[in-house]
Structure 1
Amino acid sequence: MIRIRAGSPRGVRSGAVFLAVGTCTGLFLRARRTMLRELRQARAVAGAAQSALLRPLPPRIAGLDVAAAQLSADRGAAVGGDLYEVSATEHGVRLVMGDVRGHGLAALGTAAIVLGSFREAAHDEPDLAGVLRRLDRALARHRRDRNDPSRPAAEDFVTVLLAEIAEDGSLRALNCGHPWPYRLSGTAAEPVSRAEPLPPLGLFPLPAALPAADLGPLRPGETLLLHTDGVADARDARGRFFPLRAVLAQTARLGPLPPPVLLRAVFARLLGHTGPRPADDAAVLVIRNGRGDASGTTPP
Structure 2
Amino acid sequence: MGRLAPALWVAGVMLWECSLPEGTHVLALLAATPALACAGSAGRSGIWVGGACALLALYPLGLCPGDQQFGGRAATTAAILCVAMASCYAVRRRTRLADELASTREVATAAQQALIRPLPPRIEGFTLAGAYLSAARCAAVGGDLYDVAATAHGVRVVIGDVRGHGLGAVSTVAAVLGAFREAAHDESELAQVLRRLERALDRHLNCRGLSAPGKGAPGPAQVPVASASAAADGYDDADEEFVTVLLLEVRADGSVTVLNCGHPWPYRLSQERDGAPVVEPVAEGEPLPPLGLLPLPPGPPRPLRLQLPPGETLFLYTDGAEDARDRSGEFFPLPEVLRAAVTERTRAVPPIPAAPAEVVGRVRHELLGHTRTRLPDDVALLALRNDRCRVHGQAQGPGRERVAVRLPCSCREPSAVGGGGQL
Provide structure 1 residue ranges, at least 5 long, that are not aligned to the other structure.
1-17
Q: Is the 8 A contact 2:284 2:304 kept in 1?
A: no
Q: What is residue 14 of structure 1 aligned with on the other side?
A: none
Q: What is residue 109 of structure 2 aligned with on the other side?
A: 47
Q: What is residue 316 of structure 2 aligned with on the other side?
A: 226
Shift of 1:296: 4.7
For 2:165, the aligned partner's letter is H
Q: What is residue 211 of structure 1 aligned with on the other side?
A: 301
Shift of 1:76: 4.0
**Higher RCO, 1 vs 2 (CA within 8 Å, ≥6 residues apart):** 1
**Counterpart-to-counterpart distance in 1, 2:299 and 2:163:** 26
Q: What is residue 380 of structure 2 aligned with on the other side?
A: 283
Q: For structure 1, which segment, 61-70 or 194-203, has the greater mean C-alpha deviation from structure 2 after superposition?
A: 194-203
Distance 1:280 1:34, change over 3 A: farther
Q: What is residue 198 of structure 1 aligned with on the other side?
A: 288
Distance 1:244 1:39, change over 3 A: same
Distance 1:118 1:150, change over 3 A: same
**Counterpart-to-counterpart distance in 1, 2:295 and 2:89:** 55
- Whichever structure has more helix as a proportion of its residues is 2
**Counterpart-to-counterpart distance in 1, 2:89 and 2:206:** 44
Shift of 1:25: 9.9
**Counterpart-to-counterpart distance in 2, 1:98 and 1:78:** 16
User: Counterparts in 2 of 1:115-154, with a 5 A limit?
Assistant: 115-146=177-208, 147-152=225-230
Q: For structure 1, which segment, 100-109 or 167-176, has the greater mean C-alpha deviation from structure 2 after superposition?
A: 100-109
Distance 1:105 1:125, change over 3 A: same
For 1:87, the aligned partner's letter is A
User: Counterparts in 2 of 1:162-177, with a 5 A limit?
Assistant: 162-177=247-262
**Counterpart-to-counterpart distance in 1, 2:150 and 2:98:** 43
Q: What is residue 360 of structure 2 aligned with on the other side?
A: 263
Q: Is the 8 A contact 2:259 2:304 kept in 1?
A: no
**Counterpart-to-counterpart distance in 1, 2:185 and 2:302:** 17
Distance 1:57 1:39, change over 3 A: same
For 1:192, the aligned partner's letter is V
Shift of 1:215: 3.6
Provide structure 2 residue ranges, at least 5 long, that are not aligned to the other structure.
1-78, 209-224, 231-236, 272-276, 347-352, 390-406, 413-423
- Whichever structure has more strand as a proportion of its residues is 1
Shift of 1:178: 0.8
**Counterpart-to-counterpart distance in 2, 1:258 and 1:159:** 27
Distance 1:247 1:296, change over 3 A: farther
Paired-residue identity, %? 54
For 1:96, the aligned partner's letter is V
Shift of 1:294: 5.5
Shift of 1:40: 5.2
Q: Is the 8 A contact 1:193 1:215 kept in 2?
A: no
